[in-house]
Every structure is written in structure tokens, then in C-alpha cells.
Chains A and B, each alone.
Chain A
Amino acid sequence: MIRRRAALARHIPWTLLIFLVLIWVPWLGSRYDTFLATQIAIQALFAVSLNLLLGTTGLVSFGHVAYFGVGAYVCAILMKTYGMPFVVAFPAAGIGAAVFALVAGFFCVRLTKIYFAMLTLAFSQIVWAICFKWNEVTGGDQGLPDIPYPDLDWMAAVPGLADLRLSDRFYLLTLLLVAVSLAVLRQITHSPFGRMLTTIRDNPERAAFIGLNVRAYELAAFVVAGAFAGLAGALFGIFNRGVFADYVFWSKSAEVMIMTILGGMDYFWGPPVGTLALVWLNQQTTSYTEYWPFVLGTLLIVLLYAFPGGIVGGLAAAFRLARRRIVRGDA
């Protein structure tokens, strides 16, 4: 009985159900809820892109925000300065971030462990410095405010969407693009290519001696992760109504890493859960206290000791334990 129920549970397309529920946020929640949901969706994509390196390939990148930033600036500059439509600017952001990841990654994958991490950090600070100083293109310390929303008038033609505010429509667009991106990333993670990345994570020496060019695979993972970070950045710039050098500062790399580890980097859905938890907690605590970093630090220490697999890892362990108890009780 229990086993049959468990088998049934596995056949329910949970991800599709969650996506279908999330569509209703603009109707069911407040304007602020939609704002939060948009932010979480974008950050979740950013965190999952990082996890392709962190959890899947075992590469600790301390500079992942650089690709997020490149994507944000490329999309913003194309839309604001050159007046290009979103359908051009959005893919261009992904391509721009991928090209930059290819260049930076070429050097980074030649180093290992802490040296790799330091070099990714160095590249990200270079991006930050360029964004901060190159006034004519990036707006320098003023940034690029007032990035236009994509043209979403076509949504008015869809029955039921005509009455939505522009920010609600943008939420739906974001949700769709993030869902498609996550589906692609999930497919890549479970592909033979993804399997090769996990062998590199587990044991690079052995991976080379099953015939893998380890550096080439690491570089490919770096480029894919960079491209999707760029797409997340493009959405974020529009959502945020502006792109500023602050968003490319290295501390943002740490933030997304915390989300990933908090959620559980061994699981594909760990980073989105971590993002959700962190944004929600941030909202809850900042209404009581101004010591958010203190709360975050304490929480992280407790979590790393109690649930080294993150939230999803902890839940999975609890679920396994509960099922074993029930099965034993049944018998």
C-alpha cells in the first residue's frame, strides 16, 4: 500500500504542478507578493546556474556574479541605449555572458581548487571595475537607470491577462523564461555530459583516465553556467528598473553561493529552495530586527552542522527515515 503510494507520488509531475500554481501569484497575492515572486524566480535561476559548477562539477566559483552582471549590462545597454527589443536583447545577454565565460574560463580551468576560486574572483572584480568606471557605456557609478520594460502588449490579447499590471505581466514572462531555462539546465544535468561532470567532481584524476579531457569539460560547464547566469542577469536588470555596479560586486557571488548551499547543492532543486528560504527569511527578520546578517550567519552555522546536505538534503533524509518507519510499522 505504502509502496504503491510512493510509486504514485513519483509519477506526479511535481515541477509542472508547482509551475502551474506559481502562475496564479498575480491574482492570488498582493502586488508585493508578485514582486517577491519575480525576484525569487530570477535568483533561483542564477543559483541553479552556479550549482552546475558547484554541485555538479565540483568547481568553487567565487565570481559567478560577473556573468550575471555581463548579462544584465548587455541586455540593459541594448534595450536602453540602442532601443532594441527584448527578443533580441535577452538572448544577446546569454551569448555575451557565455563569450565572457569562455575567455575567463579558459584561464580559470587551468588552475585547481583555491587558485581556481581566486582567479574567478579576480575576473569578477575586473568586470566590476569596468562597470564602475566605463562611464560612456555602463553609466559608471550612476549605473543605467530606467531600463524599459519589454513590450508586453501582446499579452492583452490573451484572455484573462488584459487587466494585469505591467509588472504582473513581466512576472509571467519571467516565470516562463525561468521555467524553460531550468528545464534545459535539468536536462543538461541528467545528460551524459552532466554525468561526465559528476565524475570530474568526484575524481578528476580518474575522470581523465576514462578518457575525458577534464579541462575542456570544465570549460564547457563554465560557459553553460555563465550563459544562464547572464539570462538571469538580463531579467534582473529589467525587474530592478536599472543596472548598477553594486550588483556586480563580489559579495553578490557569496550571496548566491549561500543560497545554493542553504538549499542543498547535491540536489537540482536545492538552490531554488535555498533562494526561496533566504528571501522569505530576509523579509521576515528585517521586519523585526536590523541584524539580518547576524541572523543569517547563525542560521548558516546551525544548518551546516545539522544538515550538511542543506534544506533539501535534510528533508530527503527525514523523508527516507519516515518511510522506513512506516514500512516497518506496516510489516
Chain B
Amino acid sequence: MLDVRKLRKSFAGFVAVGGVSLTVDTGQIAAVIGPNGAGKSTLFNLITGHIRPDSGQVLLDGYEITGVAPHRICRMGIGRSFQRTNIFPRLSVFENVQAAFLAHRGRGRNFWSHSQLFYRDETQTLLGSIGLAGQEHAVAGTLSYGNQKQLELGIALASDPAVLLLDEPTAGMSASETHDTMRLLEQIAGERQLTLLFTEHDMAVVFAIAEKIAVLHQGRLLAEGTPAEVRADPEVRRVYLGEH
């Protein structure tokens, strides 16, 4: 489904991502792990078109999407969340998700109808499924950090993505919130047959739900495989897991 080939990006001589190749199959839950500065966020930004790679290719379902503008990549079926929570802070919770529905279904060019009338049921249902029912009218920026992360997931899901990229979906959450969020993600990915690629700090979480793990270290792919394979990899144990 998602095929990253020899992707490379350097910033002023510093190699952030140095020739990373990675494939994620349809419906697979995959995790990218690695210490801070390993290049995880840069890799995500390269895939979603926020940064142009120096070389290499990104293929979505066999089609090359390297260097395509972010809004087009979004329409092609990649959804994402950002490491720093990225919502519409002054709109209500309802409007946040509804706006994503409007944009995705091409209603944004409608100058004339009343926006309140569209996708009310879809928005309610989606808010319910991500655990935000009853908070529709709250101003998004006033939500707790955990709820904002949930809302961002809702915004991403409204675009009905085939591939979902989540950059640290549980950053800043308590242990129980982290647990709940990951269970929720697993469930939603199953229901929607999503291909999921995420980064995460909490190794317990990663090894619990990921079917495939890629380990980045200093911009390079150190190892790739099932959780068992990665856990057994001597190189990974030395530079990464050993630290914990």
C-alpha cells in the first residue's frame, strides 16, 4: 500500500533521513521507532509532501506521489496527525470534524448553502466513535490535551483515508489514556481496514499492537520486521532497546 524507496533528505549538510526504504502492506499496523532526532517526523513529512526529498520515491498503491502538494496527497487517501497537536482551535469540536468532511467531499466551493446543514449525522457518529460525544459544542482549543489528540484523529478520519500516519498519537498522555487511545486506534483500523503507520515512544504500546516495526537511528533504517524479529536484533538491542 505504502512503498517508500531510498528516501533521502538533508538539511544544510545534516542528513535527517538517509536512504530509508520501507513498505507497509494494506491493512497492516506498522510502527516507526527510534530515539529523538532519528528522523521519524522528517520521514512522515517527506511522505505527506510537507518536505520535498533530495532523492528517492514515495508510492501509494503503486502510484508515485513524491513531491506532490500536501492537499493533493490528503485527497489521494493519506490522513495524518501531527506531533504537535494540529486542530482548528477557535472552531467547535463539531465544526472541526464537519469541516474535514466538507473539504474531503468537495463542498468547499459551495458559496451559498448554510454550512451547518451538511454531514450532521456523519460528524456525530464519528465524534461518538472517537469518544468525544457530548463535547460537540466545546471550543476545540479549550479541550484537554488528550481530547485534542482524539479530535485530531477525528479530523484525519473524516477524510476517509486508506493510509493513516500518526506522529506520536499518545504523546503527553497518561498511561491509561495511552492504553485507551491505542485500543481505539486498533479497533478503528480494523473496522475501516486502515493501513496504519505510527511513531511512538512507549515501547510496551508498540510491541503490543504493531504487526511490523521499523527502527530508525540517525536517519538510517537499523532494522525492519515483526516485533519478535526486531526485539531479537542484536544491533537494535545495542543502540536502542538497551537504553531503556
Contact = CB atoms under 8 A, between A and B. Distances in A.
Given A208-B74, A210-B103, A211-B71, A192 B86 contact: no
Interface string A187-219: 110111111101101110111111111100100
Nearest to A209: B74
Contacts of B118: 192
Interface in B67-104: 69-71, 74-75, 79-80, 82, 86-91, 95, 98-100, 102-104
A228 B126 CA distance: 38
A193 B88 contact: no
Contacts of B87: 202-203, 206
A199 B115 contact: no
B120 interface: no
Interface residues of B, number: 37
A312 to B, nearest CB: 16
Range for the number of chain A residues in contact with chain B: 20 to 34
Given A195-B102, A196-B99, A203-B87, A210 B115 contact: no
B86 A190 contact: no
Contact of A211 (B88, B90, B95, B103): B103
Contacts of B98: 195
A198 B92 CA distance: 11
Contact of B109 (A193, A205, A211, A214): A193
Nearest to B113: A191
Interface string B22-62: 00000000000000000000000000101000000000000
A10 to B, nearest CB: 14
Given A192-B118, A211-B104, A203 B86 contact: yes
Interface in A143-199: 187-188, 190-196, 198-199
B110 A209 contact: no
A105 to B, nearest CB: 17
B99 A199 contact: yes
B89 to A, nearest CB: 6
B110 A192 contact: yes
A97 B113 CA distance: 25
B238 interface: no
Q: Which 4 A-B pairs have CB atoms at the shortest separation, nearest pair first?
A: A202-B88, A210-B103, A210-B100, A195-B115
30 contacts: A188-B111, A190-B115, A190-B116, A191-B112, A191-B114, A191-B115, A192-B107, A192-B109, A193-B111, A195-B102, A195-B108, A196-B99, A196-B102, A198-B90, A198-B91, A205-B82, A206-B88, A206-B155, A207-B103, A208-B71, A208-B74, A209-B79, A209-B86, A210-B99, A211-B74, A211-B103, A211-B159, A212-B71, A212-B103, A213-B69
Interface of A: 187-188, 190-196, 198-199, 201-203, 205-214, 217
Given A196-B108, A209-B79, A217-B108, 18 more contacts: A191-B114, A192-B107, A192-B113, A193-B110, A195-B115, A196-B102, A202-B87, A202-B90, A202-B91, A206-B82, A209-B71, A210-B74, A210-B100, A210-B104, A210-B155, A210-B158, A211-B104, A212-B103
